[in-house]
Chain A
């Protein structure tokens, strides 16, 4: 039985698509058949982050409307053959995502994949709701910043009351906190909420902390999910996060400030 995971946050620009791309790639790197779907109808972006924008022929809405079948619309990743991407439509309106249509596509994907990752749009409108509704588990992407934390709390409320699991009384959607753009030195100075602060406020288990890192931008420039960057701490954090998701015990890194040696202090090395 395939597992459906929504990557959500409420607030925009906190790293949902970055997380979806790296998380899905990470699952495929570990040998799991993974499909990742962009639910942001009208503002497609996952294809760019994953570097497949020139290979999009048919999209999610085409499949829902029966204008293309799933096999035609799924884009197979060139690096990892276990990974497939389903792009969002760029032109249609958000009402194109009907509940029956989304359910049908997810059921069909569930026959060929182990994990289905749903990249939610920002907000709590139809697209975000559809991405959340069928989820078994949720990655709640949060920045250590007041508006992001409050929006995440709001999304957690919706997950626990309006998801299919909640409606059918089939238990809870399993929630995971993913704290992104974390800057340990600002935390040490008291300028930024700490991991423990956010954990205490949201009261959900921590899956991973991704440090603020220049490679998130540079890897997106070239359409490579940051998890594939060998020497990036953000990439390493995503690898750890995937391992933890798969049940491994991996200690958290990048939470405390890296003390710079005298030489790197003098020469300003990264």
Chain B
């Protein structure tokens, strides 16, 4: 029966779609904030406090990203200062 497929356009099955979507969702979960160290939120809070001693910044001024590459964990810290 498989030769009939030749006449049909090759259509992606829903299972394939599910797999692709999961690969992305899981990669995000593993790399990102979901699995980052537990102290991150608190550290962010305290850093925000320190910055605010000197400059008035909004809540989202301090941003973290955690990346894992070749068994190496990289913590990137971004502080956005307001435009004067």
> Would A150 and B15 count as touching, CB distance under 8 A?
no
Give chain A's interface residues, CB within 8 Å of chain B.
Answer: 145-146, 149-150, 153-154, 157, 161, 187, 189-194, 197, 200-202
In the complex, what residues of A have CB within 8 A of residue B21's CB? 146
> Is B30 among interface residues, defined by CB-CB distance under 8 A?
yes
Contacts A149-B22, A157-B35, A201-B22 given; does A187 touch B29 at CB 8 Å? no
> Is B72 among interface residues, defined by CB-CB distance under 8 A?
no
Select from chain B the residue with minimum beta-carbon distance to A203: B26
> Is B25 among interface residues, defined by CB-CB distance under 8 A?
yes
> Would A157 and B34 count as touching, CB distance under 8 A?
yes
> Would B18 and A193 count as touching, CB distance under 8 A?
yes
A interface majority secondary structure: helix
Contacts A157-B35, A191-B13, A193-B15 given; does A150 touch B29 at CB 8 Å? yes
* Interface size of B as a range: 10 to 19
> Would B16 and A190 count as touching, CB distance under 8 A?
yes
> Would A201 and B23 count as touching, CB distance under 8 A?
yes
Partner of A154, one of B14, B15, B18, B34: B34
In the complex, what residues of A have CB within 8 A of residue B8's CB? none
Give chain B's interface residues, CB within 8 Å of chain A.
Answer: 13-16, 18-19, 21-23, 25-26, 29-30, 34-35
Partner of A153, one of B16, B19, B26: B26
- A59 → chain B closest CB, angstroms: 31
Partner of B14, one of A150, A153, A190: A190
In the complex, what residues of A have CB within 8 A of residue B23's CB? 201
Cα–Cα distance between A35 and B30 once the two chains are bound (Å): 34
> Would B15 and A191 count as touching, CB distance under 8 A?
yes
Select from chain B the residue with minimum beta-carbon distance to A187: B15
Partner of B19, one of A161, A189, A191, A193: A193
> Would B15 and A153 count as touching, CB distance under 8 A?
no
Cα–Cα distance between A197 and B26 once the two chains are bound (Å): 13
Cα–Cα distance between A197 and B21 once the two chains are bound (Å): 12
Contacts A193-B18, A201-B19 given; does A153 touch B29 at CB 8 Å? yes
In the complex, what residues of A have CB within 8 A of residue B16's CB? 190
Cα–Cα distance between A201 and B16 once the two chains are bound (Å): 12
Select from chain B the residue with minimum beta-carbon distance to A186: B15
7 contacts across the A-B interface (CB closer than 8 A)? A146-B22, A150-B25, A154-B34, A157-B34, A191-B14, A191-B15, A201-B26
- A241 → chain B closest CB, angstroms: 24
Select from chain B the residue with minimum beta-carbon distance to A149: B22
Partner of B30, one of A157, A187, A192, A197: A157
Select from chain B the residue with minimum beta-carbon distance to A158: B35
Cα–Cα distance between A45 and B34 once the two chains are bound (Å): 31
In the complex, what residues of A have CB within 8 A of residue B15's CB? 187, 190-194, 197
Cα–Cα distance between A157 and B32 once the two chains are bound (Å): 12
Select from chain A the residue with minimum beta-carbon distance to B25: A150
In the complex, what residues of B have CB within 8 A of residue A193's CB? 15, 18-19, 22
In the complex, what residues of B have CB within 8 A of residue A197's CB? 15, 18-19
Q: 8 other contacts beyond A146-B22, A150-B26, with CB at 8 A cut-off?
A: A149-B22, A149-B26, A153-B29, A187-B15, A191-B13, A191-B15, A193-B15, A197-B18
Q: List the 6 closest A-B pairs by CB distance, nearest first.
A: A190-B13, A157-B35, A197-B19, A153-B26, A190-B15, A146-B18
**Most B-side CB within 10 Å, residue of A189, A190, A194:** A190
